[in-house]
Structure 1
Amino acid sequence: MAEPSAFWDRMADRYAAQPISDEQAYRTKLARTQSHFTPDMDVFEFGCGTGGTAIIHAPHVRSVRAVDFSERMLEKARIRAAQAGVDNVTFEKGDITTMPIAPASYDVVLAMSVLHLLQNRQAVIQRVFDILKPGGIFVSSTVCIAETARWLGYIAPLGRALGLLPVLTVMDRDQLRQDITRPGFTIEHDWRPKPRAAVFIIARKPN
Structure 2
Amino acid sequence: MTRGAAFWDRVARRYAEMQMRNPETYEHTLDLVREHLRPGDRVLELGCGTGTTALRLADAVERYVASDYSAEMITIAGERRSKAGVENLDLCVGQPCDGSLPEGPFDAILAFNLLHLLPNRRQAFADVAQHLRPGGLFISKTPCLGGVYRVFQPLVSALRLLGKAPDFNFLTPARLEREIRMAGFDIIAAGDYPKRPPRRFIVARKG
Preserved contact between residue 93 and residue 100 of structure 2 (Cα < 8 Å): no
Q: Which residue of 1 aligns with 2:171?
A: 171
SS of the residue corresponding to residue 12 of structure 1 reads helix
Determine if contact 1:148/1:196 at 8 Å carries over to the other structure: no
Matched, 1:87 2:87: yes
Task: Give runs of aligned pairs for residues 25-36 of structure 1, distance below 5 A.
Answer: 25-36=25-36
Deviation at 1:147, TM superposition (A): 4.0
| 2-structure distance, mates of 1:3, 1:123 | 18
Matched with 1:200 is 201
Instruction: Tell me, in whole angstroms, the C-alpha distance in 1 between the residues paired with 2:140 and 2:78.
Output: 22
Q: Residue in 2 aligned with 1:76?
A: 76
- What is the aligned partner in structure 2 of residue 113 from structure 1? 113
| Structure 2 stretches lacking a partner, 5+ long | none
Q: In the alignment, is the contact (CA less than 8 A) between 1:117 and 1:169 conserved in 2? A: yes
Offset, 1:176: 0.6
**Secondary structure of 1:36's match?**
coil
Query: SS at 2:20's partner residue?
Result: coil
Query: How far is the alpha carbon of 1:148 from its aligned partner?
Result: 6.3
CA contact (8 A) 1:39 1:61 kept: yes
Q: TM-score, normalised by structure 2?
A: 0.91
Q: Structure 1 pair 14/151, CA: closer, same or farther in 2 (3 Å)? A: farther
Identity of aligned residues (%): 34
Shift of 1:195: 2.7
Partner SS, residue 96 of structure 1: coil
Mark the runs of 5 or more structure 1 residues left unpaired by the alignment.
none
Give the 5 Å matches for 1:34-183.
34-99=34-99, 105-147=105-147, 149-183=149-183
Q: For 2:111 and 2:2, how far apart are their aligned partners in 1?
A: 16
For 2:204, give the aligned amino acid: A
Tell me how far apart the structure 1 counterparts of residues 54 and 17 of structure 2 sit (CA, whole Å). 17
Deviations along 1:125-169, whole A, 9 cap, x unmatched? 121112111111111110112146313433545543432221101
Matched pairs, number: 206
After superposition, give the CA deviation of every residue in 1:71-109 in whole Å (9 maximum; x if it has no partner).
Answer: 111111011111111011111111221225588600000
CA distance in structure 1 between the partners assigned to 2:54 and 2:3 by the alignment = 22
Distance in 2, Cα, partners of 1:134 & 1:72? 33
Counterpart secondary structure, 1:4: helix
Question: Relative to structure 1, is the Cα distance of residues 3 and 148 closer, same or farther in structure 2, using a 3 angstrom cutoff?
Answer: farther
TM-aligned CA distance change 1:147 to 1:83, over 3 Å: farther
The match for 1:9 is 9
Please tell me the residue identity of whatever aligns with 2:201. F
SS of the equivalent of 2:146 reads: helix
Q: Give the aligned residue type for 1:183.
A: A
Report the alpha carbon displacement of residue 170 of structure 1 after superposing the two structures with TM.
1.4
1:97-122 C-alpha deviation (Å, 9 max, x unpaired): 12255886000001000001111112
Aligned Cα RMSD in Å?
2.0
Q: Distance in 1 between matches of 2:61 and 2:180?
A: 24
